[in-house]
Structures are given as structure tokens and as C-alpha cells.
Amino acid sequence: MIVLIVLIALALAALVVVNQINRKQMEEQARRMQQRKLKLQADAIVDVVNCLEQTIPNRMMAKYINDESIVLLEQILKLETGSTTHIENSIRNALMRSEELANAKNYPSTSYQKDSDAQITHTQEQLSEAMILLRHICAQGKFSDAELEVFTNELSWGFLMVSVTSFISQGLKFSNLQDRFSAKNYYQKAQNLLMESMLPDPRRMRMIKELSEIIEGSRASMSYDLMPERALTD
């Protein structure tokens, strides 16, 4: 009888130990999964920031979005149970990047022009994601509705210009090759996008007019203030 009681006690003790081990393993697995989820979100935000840096002149949009990656990295840091050096370095680098973006204001080196349909599509997807992120950040009270309106207008214009300037650039390349038929086709693609757009930006009508002049042959290229990128292909 005593032996049976001992065996039962040992079995119960073993079950308790196994349950504790399983619970700890499940907690560890949940922690790692949460870290991976946050890391994917942070990486996606960095991709958006990279796109904005290359495409949109206004740096503050990229700065606000980059700040969100810092928030996610800090959450990852709180979940870490091992060495935190690599996470702390990532946070430090992200903080430096936000500071640089805040001080840079406008970069003249950005370009809407992309070299392929895949790049156009990817850039426009990233600009759409930036719009979603900025609305979320504004809802948190981190910047004003007036700023959001400015950012929205710039992103909407940038979204349109990514396709328009890329088509115009292709048109310029074919013009330089004396292939007027192909050049006209790309110019008309760009003009159609501008005409279909409902954006109230006055630059849109100017671009439509200048593209008509290019197609007619009375103008060689777009005005520099409308498309600085043309210098890359002239």
C-alpha cells in the first residue's frame, strides 16, 4: 500500500514537472512568435521609409514612420530574455536615422522616376502603405490633421508622378533614339494618366499642356520644375 502511494505521489510530481516544463516552453514559443511578428512589422516599416527617402522630397513623413519602427524595436527589446546588444544597436541606429530625417527637411536628390513596371508597382504599394501608417500615427495625436492633409496631398501627387515621370522618361529615351512612334506612345500614356486623375494640383494641367506640345513637336522636353528627372535622360 505504501509503495502504491509513493508511486502515485511520484507520478503526480512528474506530471507537475512536465506541466511546468510544457508551460515554460509554450511561453517561450509565444514570446519568440511575438518577437518575430514585431520584427516583420519593423522591417516592413523600414522598407516604407527607404522608399520615401528615395521618392518623396518631404523628409518628415519618413521621420514619423521611422519613429514607429523604434516603438516596435523597444517592444522587441522588452520581450528579449537573452543578449540585447543587437536590438539596442538597432534602436540606436533608428534613433539616429529619425534625427537625420528631422534635420534634413527636403532632399532634392529624390526621384519619382522608376526603371521598370515592377519598380513602379512596388513604389506605389509602398506609398499606399505610407498613407495608412501616417493616418494611424495622426490618430495617435503625434502630428496634426493639417500636417496629415499636407502629407496626403504629397503622397497622392507622388503616387501619380511615379507612373507619369517614368513614362515620360521612356518617351525621352525613344525620342533620343529618333523613334517618334514609341516616344509618342509613352507620352500619351503619361498624359492619359494625368487627364484621368482628379488631383487639383495646378502642376497637373501644366504637365498635360506641355505633353501635348511635346507630342505635337513644338517642345523637346518638360519644364525642369515639373520634372527635374528629365536631366537624367536628356
Q: Phi/psi of residue 15, each to 5°?
A: -65, -40
pLDDT at 231: 44
Domains of the chain: which residue ranges? Answer: 1-104, 144-234
DSSP codes of every residue in 204-219: HHHHHHHHHHHHHTS-
Q: Which three cell numbers stand for residue 151?
A: 502629407
Buried-state track 145-184, b at ≥16 Cβ within 10 A, e below 16:
eeebeebeebbbbbbbbbbbbbbbbbbbebbeeeeeeebb
- Encode pLDDT of 153-212 as tens digits: 999 999 999 999 999 999 999 999 999 999 999 999 999 999 999 999 999 999 999 999
- Encode pLDDT of 39-73 as tens digits: 999 999 999 999 999 999 999 999 999 999 999 99
Query: Model-level pTM?
Result: 0.85
> What span, in angstroms and rounded, lies between the C-alpha atoms of 49 and 38?
17
pLDDT at 107 over 60: no
Under CATH, which architecture does the 1-104 domain have?
Up-down Bundle (1.20)
